[in-house]
Structure 1
Amino acid sequence: MNRRNFLKTTVLAALATAATARWNFAMAQGASQIFTLAYPTSFPDLDPATSFSNDGAVLANVYEGLTRYIPGDEKTEAKIEPRLATAWEVSADGKTWTFTLRDGVTFHDGTPLTSEAVKGSIERTKKIGGGAAFIWGPVTAIETPEPLKVVFQLSEPQPLDLIASAGFAAWIYAPSSFDKDNAWFNAGNDAGTGPFRISRYEPGQRAVLDRVEGYWDTVPDGAFQTISFEIIEDTTLAQNMIESGQADWTYSIPFENLEAMKANPDLNVVSNPSFETLFGLYNVKRAPLDKVKVRQALSLAFPYDDVIAAGTMGLGTRAKGVVPAGIWGHDADAPIPSTDLEAARALLAEEGIEPGLELVMTYSTTQALSAVAGELWKANLETLGITLTLQPMAWEAQWQLGKSDPKAAQDIFVMFWWPTFVTPYDYLFNLFHTEEKPNFNLGYYSNPEVDAKIDEAAKLSGTDRPRAEALFIEAQRTVIEEAAAVFMVDRPNVHIIRSDIKGYTDNPAYGHVTFVNELSR
C-alpha cells in the first residue's frame, strides 16, 4: 500500500470510528425511533432570519412558514399549500394580501401563534437584512387587525403566497426570540412551531432534534421521535453508513456508485428532476477574466456532454443558462455555447492570451460532480496552454474566500444554486445583480442594464407575468453572452434512503430538505 492510500485508509478508519461513536449514542436512545441523515455539509447559520445555506435542512424541521410550495408533475399543476396560514386573499390591485392564521398552533416556548408573532418575525428578518431577507423587499407595512389575521401592504403587486413559501427567510418564530442575537440561535436554541426542536448542536459534527409534544399537524403512526443530522463530508463514509444501516438518508454519493446501490434491496435510490444548476462564476474583477472573450473561450472549452456522461452517468441534463427547467422564466432556447476548442483557441488569440495562463477553481469538498467537471475541464484547458488548479474546500471556507476581496479571491467559484422560492428573480438577483458587498454574486458581475431588467421584471411578476418573463429571459441572455459564468449541468436530485422508510417524497423547491414529520419506519 502506498503512502497516499495508507493515509486515506487511516483517515477513513478514524472517521468511521467517530461515526460509530455517534451512532452508538443514537442506538442507546432507540434506533428505530431515530431518523439519521448522513449530511455532506455543515450548517453555517441556524438563525431563521439569516440562514441562507445548507442549514435549511435543519430549520425546515424546526420552523414553519405561512405556506409551502408543492411542485406539479405531468398530471397536476404546482400549488401553494397552507401551513401556518389556512387561507389568504389578495386585493384587485395586487398590493394588499390578507392571511388567516391557523388556530391552536403554539411555539416551542408554549406561546400561541398570533398575527403579532408573524409581524415581528418578518420585521426582525427585514431589519437584520441578512440571508434572503430581500424576499420581503416589497412589503411596506404589516397590520394585525385580529389575533389570527395579518395584512401585508406592498409597494408593487407580488405573489406573496409564493414568497411566503420560501425555504429561507420566511420562517415564523416566537416573540420571545425577537431580541436574541445570531449567537443565541447558533448555540443551538430555537423558537419554532415545527414538529421538532433542537436538543443538541455540535457545530461541524451533528445536530440532534427531538419531537415536540402537541404538534398541530398530523403525525403518522410509527413516526420518528428524533432526527440526527450527522455531518459526514467524506462520501465513502456516507455510503458505508447508508449501506450498513447507520444512516437512513444521504446524498452527494458519486453517480458511478448508484447502479450498485440500486441493486441493494435495503436501499431506495430516489432520482427526480431538480431545480439545481451547477455553474462556475468567473471572477470578472481579475485579469484576464475581466475580458469577455477570455471568459467565452473558457466556456467553449468546457466539456458539457462529457460531464453529463461521466459525472452524472447520463442522468443530468444540459444547463440552458441561469434558470433551470421547471421554473417559469426558463429559457429553452438560450444561446448556450457548445464545446469547441478551436473556437476557444481563436478567441484567446484575439485577446493576446499566450500559453501559460494559470487559473484556480474552488468547489466544495463534498461535491463529487464538481470534482469530475473540474478534472474534465482541466484536461481540455491544458490543450489550450491553460493550467486549471482545482481547489476543493469546506463550503464555509470556500464561501468566505469568495466573499473576501475579489482581487485576492478565486478565479472561478463553482457551486450549485437552488431557489429561495420558485421564481427566476431568485437566481438572477442573487447570482448576477450588482452587490456592494459580495454574498452570492461571487463572480462580482455588474451590469446596470441587467440590474434594471431584473428589478423591473420583479415588479411586474404579480401583474404581467408574460412581460416579466420576457425581461428575465433578456437579462439571462445578456449574462450568457457576456459569459459571466459557465453553466455546467442541471443535476438531478438523487437521494438514497433506507427501504424500510415510509412516506418519503422529494420536493425540489427545498434543496435536499427532508420533512421528517411525514416519515415513519
Structure 2
Amino acid sequence: MRHRVRVLTISALAIGLAAAGCSKTGNGKGEEAAKDQKQSISIDYKGTTPVPAPEVKDARKGGQVLWLADGNFEHLDPGQEYVGDALSFSTNLFHRTLTGYIEPTEEGGTLKVVGDLAVNAGETTDGGKTWKYTLRDGLKYEDGSPIKSADIKHGVARAMGKYGEQGPQYIQNALDPDRKYKGPDEKGDGDVPGITTPDDKTIIFTMKDPHPEFPELAVFPTTTPVPAAKDTKDKYETEWISSGPYKRKEYKIDNYLILERNPNWDPKTDPIRHQYVDTIKADFTPNRATQTQRLIASQGEDATATMTSNVAQENIATVAADPELTKRVLSGRTPYDNYININTTKVTDVDVRKALIYLYDKDAAIKNAGGSKVAIASTTITAPNVPGYKDYDVYKAGPNGDVAKAKALLAGKTVPKLSYCFANTANGQKAAAIVKTSLERENLIQIALNPIDRKDYYTTIGKKGTTCDLMASGWGADYPDNQSTLGVLMDGSQIKDNGNQNYSYFDNAEVNKKLKELALEPDRAKAAKAYGDLDQEIMEKYAPLIPTVYTRAYTLVGSKLGGAFLSPNYAQVNLTNVYVKA
C-alpha cells in the first residue's frame, strides 16, 4: 500500500493456506533491533472468532475523538483507496470488507485475519482457485437496508473499471487476468468475470490460478459492499453509504470530516469494531508541528485527539525527555520503506541514476525527520518485514553519500535540470529541501522543486507520462509476500494510463518475466529467497530508485484518549477500540 510520505516484520513464510509472519513494533534500540522484530499472523478459516468483539477494559460511551491530519484524504471511494491513512480510517469506521484484521494491542501479539462481513476468512477446496464466502446474519447499511452478496459483487465490479483505477489490483487481476471487463455500464454490472452470487448471502470467486492469499486480499475495500441503486459514481468519494459503526455527518473538503454513530450497525455482526464514542472528527487543517503542540498541551478537544503523523522533528527530544509525555507516546517499527523514484522513461542513463543514489544524503534526511526514533537508513527496495528480505548495500555510499563516485559517473555528461515532485505539506517541503541540497552538491545536478497538493499527489505521479523526473513515495507490503512489493513496484507489464504504483515506470522484459515466474511459484519460501536476489539485481543493474529510509512510528495521543494502540499494518492509531476516559 502507498505510504503517506512523511505498514510488519515477517518471520519465515509458509503462506500456502497456513500462517505467515509480520511485525508490530520495534523496541527503540536501533536498526538491528528493528529488523529482528517478529510477529505471527493467523487466519480464521473456521470462523471461531468471538462476535461481538470483546469489550475493551474501562471503556465507556460518549464524547468525541479528534483525528489530526496534515491534509485531506486522496480517496475515500472504497475502490480507489490505496493510501494507508485512508485505508486505516475507513475500514475501521465505515467501509467493512469480506475479511478484516484484528490487530494486536500489545507488542508480540498475533495479527488475525478473520471474517468481517463474512462468517470466516473463506472456504476453498481446490488450493485457492475458488473461494466461497457466506455473509453474516443481520448485516445492514446506515439506512437499515440489508447488505447482500450482490452489493459486494457490484463493489468489485466497479473497482474493475474507472472507480478502481487508483486502488489495489490484486483481486481484479486474479479474476480477469486479461482485464477485458471494464466495469459496470448504464445497463448494469453485466457478466462480471469470476464472481457468482447464488443467493443473497453467498459470493463465490473463481480464478484461473490458485490464490491461497485471497483472505488477505479480501481485507482491502475492494470487497466493500456498494449497492448499485445507491452508487453515486464520481460522488461516491464524498457520498458513500456506511456498513460500519459510524456514518458521515458532515464533510467539508480540505477542512474536516465528522462521523456520527450508525444506528443500524449491529455489534453482534462485527468481530472487530466497537462504537464507544458519539462522534469522530477528522481535522485536515493542522500541519505536523501544530498537531504536536496541540497533543503536548492536550487541552479541550485535543485531550481526546490522535495524530496521523509522527511527532514533529523539533519536538522529539522534548517529548522523549518528559516522563509524562512518554506515557502518551506510541512508537515502533512500521512496514514502510520510503524512496525517491527515478522516472526511468525520462532519466534513461543508468549512470545518471546511480549518481543520484550516490549524491543523496541519508543522514541529513534522518536528522530532518527526527533521528533514529523515526527513521533508519534504507538500501533496498524491499522492507525488512517482507519474506525473503535481503540485507544488502550495492552502492555503499555511506551515511552522507559519495560525491566523488557520483562525479566520476557523470564525467562528460550533460544532465538537464530534473524536477522533484513531492506532496505539498510542511514536512514534504522540509524533506524536499534536503533532496535539493543533496543532489545539487558541486553543481553536478540541478533540481527544480515541484510541490503537488497532498490529496492529488499519488493520482498525479501515478499517471503514465507524468512530467516528474523524481518522485517521493513510500510503500508497505499489502500482504506477507514479496509479490506485493516487487511484483507491484517493479513489474513494467502492469504499467497503465492511470493508477500506477511503479512510479519509476521501470519496464524491463527480463525482470517482468522473472516476476511473472515468481508469482506462479507454488513454493513461496523458495520464491521469497529469489525475490531478495532479484531486488539486489534490480538495484545493481538498473538503479530505478533511491532507497531513503525504513520508517518508525513515534506519535502522541491525548491524555483522555483510551483504547489507542499502534496499528502494525498502517503505523497509525487503530480506531476500533477508542473511547474517552472518565
Does residue 219 of structure 2 align to residue 161 of structure 1? no
Where does 1:332-411 land on structure 2 (aligned, <5 Å)?
A: 332-333=391-392, 335=394, 337-338=396-397, 339-349=401-411, 352-353=412-413, 358-366=417-425, 368=427, 371-372=430-431, 374-375=433-434, 378-379=437-438, 381-383=440-442, 385-399=444-458, 401-403=460-462, 406=465, 409-411=467-469
Q: Which residue of 2 aligns with 1:190?
A: 240
Cα distance, 1:95 vs. partner? 0.9
TM-score, normalising length: structure 2: 0.74
Asked if structure 2 preserves the Cα contact closer than 8 Å seen for 1:319 and 1:487, the reply is: yes
How many aligned residue pairs are there?
Answer: 479
CA distance in 2, matches of 1:40, 1:484: 29
Cα distance, 1:48 vs. partner? 1.2
Tell me the alpha carbon deviations over residues 97-156 of structure 1, each in whole angstroms, 9 at most, x when there is no partner: 222322222122212233333323222322444222512121252233444332221211
Q: Which residue of 1 aligns with 2:515?
A: 454
Q: Which residue of 2 aligns with 1:170?
A: 223
CA distance in 2, matches of 1:148, 1:400: 35
Structure 2 residue identity aligned to 1:80: V
| Shift in alpha-carbon separation, 1:207–1:98, aligned structure 2, 3 A | same
CA distance in 2, matches of 1:425, 1:488: 21
What SS is found at the alignment partner of 1:124? helix
Does residue 74 of structure 2 align to residue 44 of structure 1? yes
Asked if structure 2 preserves the Cα contact closer than 8 Å seen for 1:281 and 1:484, the reply is: yes
CA distance in 1, matches of 2:291, 2:420: 25
CA distance in 1, matches of 2:142, 2:436: 49
Cα distance, 1:310 vs. partner? 4.5
Q: Which residue of 2 aligns with 1:508?
A: 568
| Shift in alpha-carbon separation, 1:210–1:82, aligned structure 2, 3 A | same
% identity of equivalent residues: 20
Where does 1:202-241 land on structure 2 (aligned, <5 Å)?
A: 202-217=252-267, 223-241=276-294
What SS is found at the alignment partner of 1:198? strand
Asked if structure 2 preserves the Cα contact closer than 8 Å seen for 1:126 and 1:133, the reply is: no
Asked if structure 2 preserves the Cα contact closer than 8 Å seen for 1:301 and 1:377, the reply is: no
CA distance in 2, matches of 1:370, 1:415: 14
- Where does the alignment leave 5 or more consecutive residues of structure 1 unmatched? 1-30
From 340, 345, 352, the equivalent of 1:294 is 352
Does residue 233 of structure 2 align to residue 181 of structure 1? yes
Asked if structure 1 preserves the Cα contact closer than 8 Å seen for 2:422 and 2:428, the reply is: no
Structure 2 residue identity aligned to 1:63: H
Cα distance, 1:221 vs. partner? 9.1
CA distance in 2, matches of 1:70, 1:470: 29
CA distance in 2, matches of 1:417, 1:372: 17
Cα distance, 1:199 vs. partner? 1.2
Tell me the alpha carbon deviations over residues 451-504 of structure 1, each in whole angstroms, 9 at most, x when there is no partner: 2233333333xx321233244334423431211000100111232211321111
| Shift in alpha-carbon separation, 1:123–1:56, aligned structure 2, 3 A | same
Structure 2 residue identity aligned to 1:279: Y
What SS is found at the alignment partner of 1:416? strand
| Shift in alpha-carbon separation, 1:451–1:512, aligned structure 2, 3 A | farther
Cα distance, 1:169 vs. partner? 2.4
Q: Which residue of 2 aligns with 1:5?
A: none
Does residue 148 of structure 2 align to residue 111 of structure 1? no
Q: Which residue of 1 aligns with 2:97?
A: 65
Cα distance, 1:38 vs. partner? 1.2
Structure 1 residue identity aligned to 2:116: R
In terms of mean alpha carbon deviation, does 57-66 or 277-286 score higher?
A: 57-66
Cα distance, 1:327 vs. partner? 2.4
CA distance in 1, matches of 2:579, 2:194: 38
What SS is found at the alignment partner of 1:498? coil
Tell me the alpha carbon deviations over residues 34-79 of structure 1, each in whole angstroms, 9 at most, x when there is no partner: 1111111212322112223343344221111122245688745543
| Shift in alpha-carbon separation, 1:135–1:403, aligned structure 2, 3 A | closer
| Shift in alpha-carbon separation, 1:194–1:221, aligned structure 2, 3 A | closer
CA distance in 1, matches of 2:127, 2:459: 42
CA distance in 2, matches of 1:466, 1:333: 19
TM-score, normalising length: structure 1: 0.82
CA distance in 2, matches of 1:365, 1:264: 34
| Shift in alpha-carbon separation, 1:496–1:106, aligned structure 2, 3 A | same
Structure 2 residue identity aligned to 1:414: A
Asked if structure 1 preserves the Cα contact closer than 8 Å seen for 2:378 and 2:547, the reply is: yes
What SS is found at the alignment partner of 2:566? coil
Structure 2 residue identity aligned to 1:366: T
In terms of mean alpha carbon deviation, does 441-450 or 379-388 score higher?
A: 379-388
- Where does the alignment leave 5 or more consecutive residues of structure 2 unmatched? 1-60, 176-192
Cα distance, 1:330 vs. partner? 2.4
Does residue 553 of structure 2 align to residue 486 of structure 1? no
Q: Which residue of 2 aligns with 1:132?
A: 167
Cα distance, 1:83 vs. partner? 1.5
Q: Which residue of 1 aligns with 2:29?
A: none
CA distance in 2, matches of 1:488, 1:46: 28
The CA RMSD measured in Å over matched residues stands at 3.0
CA distance in 2, matches of 1:220, 1:142: 28
Q: Which residue of 2 aligns with 1:249?
A: 306
Tell me the alpha carbon deviations over residues 364-421 of structure 1, each in whole angstroms, 9 at most, x when there is no partner: 2336277347426624641353333444432245445535574x71221112223444
Cα distance, 1:269 vs. partner? 1.9
Asked if structure 1 preserves the Cα contact closer than 8 Å seen for 2:421 and 2:450, the reply is: yes
Where does 1:25-40 land on structure 2 (aligned, <5 Å)?
A: 33-40=63-70
What SS is found at the alignment partner of 1:492? strand
Asked if structure 2 preserves the Cα contact closer than 8 Å seen for 1:196 and 1:211, the reply is: yes
